[in-house]
Structure 1
Amino acid sequence: MATTTLRQLNSFDETPASLADATVILIDFQNTYTGGTMELDGYAAAVAEGKKLLEAARAAGATVIHVQDKGYDVDSEGGKIIADVAPIDGELSVIKSVPNAYHNTNLAELVDKAGKKDVILAGFMTNMCVLFTAQGAFLNGHRPTVVAQACATRALPTTAAGQHHIDAQQIHDGALATVTELYGVVVPTVGDLA
């Protein structure tokens, strides 16, 4: 059964952002997600796609903002940004304390200062910080595009419908469907950006 999204009902533009006319926000690409309790399913593939996004953004001259969650002590090894997607001189950083990177940070100001309404999002975890930052972007008048394969999450327990857990792919897909419903555009890969 076909479903009409709230975006379609509101006639929102469904054109993905272009690197030349967007700010790229890389969310919580931190080492803590590469092993142990917080290891994400498919994190290595997401980092590889995130690296492609970062390289393409730099080549296009886009403003790049790196976000870190201070809950992982950003100065510790676990809290540091993964080397393949780490910032270089001149790239901006935001430290956040909740899933929405716009909440109680200067992210909105940095995006506004860059002069672009479009933002391109990627990172960890799809169902938490990527989803809530997409919502934050939307609520701040920005136009988010999420690169699906540059995001990852993990399986989670549930008691709904008699299940014991929901696998990571289902959670990832559900979060991206929520973005698509109202907050923004989702593209599979960096190559699918406008």
Structure 2
Amino acid sequence: MTAASPSLRDVVGLGHEPGQLHDSALIMIDLQNTYRRGVMRLHGVELAIAEAAKLLEIARDLKVPVFHIQHDGGTGSPYDIGAEIGAIADEVAPIAGEPVITKHYPNSFVQTDLDERLKAIGIQKIMLAGFMTHMCINSTAHGGFNLGYAPTVVASTTATRALEGANGQVLSAQQMQDAAIASTRDLYAVIVERVSDLRTW
């Protein structure tokens, strides 16, 4: 078995201590119906939504800020927010007082007011949940880190899909998930494996 290299977080002294939910903002990214069926269906999507619902319930109990991100791909697309396919899943649907931010890029900070909203309430720690792990979760973690935030990703609330590599070899959804989590854990975010592992105090 190949030994792992030290993470960049360890090298630069950031470590891997997760943020505490009580002083973070929860960012629920693209938990949309499109990922439950059809061409964009993700491996393990139902378990991930169930975990995200648990995390959302805890956040609401703690009265921490919650932001819902919804990707808009346009009318007739798998991300049509005007249709049921692009709607946020019922289990994690926003309630009154929880902003819904529409985005058009994988990074939730690009051409949105998420950064301004977080700064307005003095938030520096952000907790990320949602889809897809290799795409919008990683892009938002990277973007947030580059803006000075301290991201934590709750891995059990995320999911992705099998993809073909440049050499024609198919990487399984689990391989994609593991690689996406490992690459972001290297520097951009602390990873918490399950909601039950999260410190809420």
The verdict on a shared fold, with TM-score over 0.5 as the criterion, is yes
Paired letter, 1:56: I
| Number of residue pairs aligned between Structure 1 and Structure 2 | 192
The residue matched to 2:69 in structure 1 has which SS? strand
Give the C-alpha shift of residue 190 in structure 1.
1.4
The residue matched to 2:152 in structure 1 has which SS? strand
Unaligned runs of 5+ in 1: none
| TM-score between the two structures when normalised by the length of structure 2 | 0.93
Whole-Å separation in 1 of the counterparts to 2:98 and 2:121: 12
| 1:65 counterpart (44, 64, 67) | 67
User: What RMSD over aligned residues (CA atoms) do the two structures have, in Å?
Assistant: 1.0
Q: 2:146 corresponds to which residue?
A: 139
Paired letter, 2:40: M
Unaligned runs of 5+ in 2: 74-78
Matches within 5 A, 1:1-194: 1-71=3-73, 72-160=79-167, 163=169, 165-194=170-199
Give the C-alpha shift of residue 178 in structure 1.
1.1
Deviations 1:123-161 (A, max 9, x none): 01000000000001101111000000100011112243x
Q: Which runs of 4+ in 1 moved over 2 A?
A: none
Whole-Å separation in 2 of the counterparts to 1:157 and 1:4: 28
Whole-Å separation in 1 of the counterparts to 2:127 and 2:29: 10
Paired letter, 2:190: V
Identity fraction in percent: 45
| TM-score between the two structures when normalised by the length of structure 1 | 0.96
Give the C-alpha shift of residue 114 in structure 1.
2.5
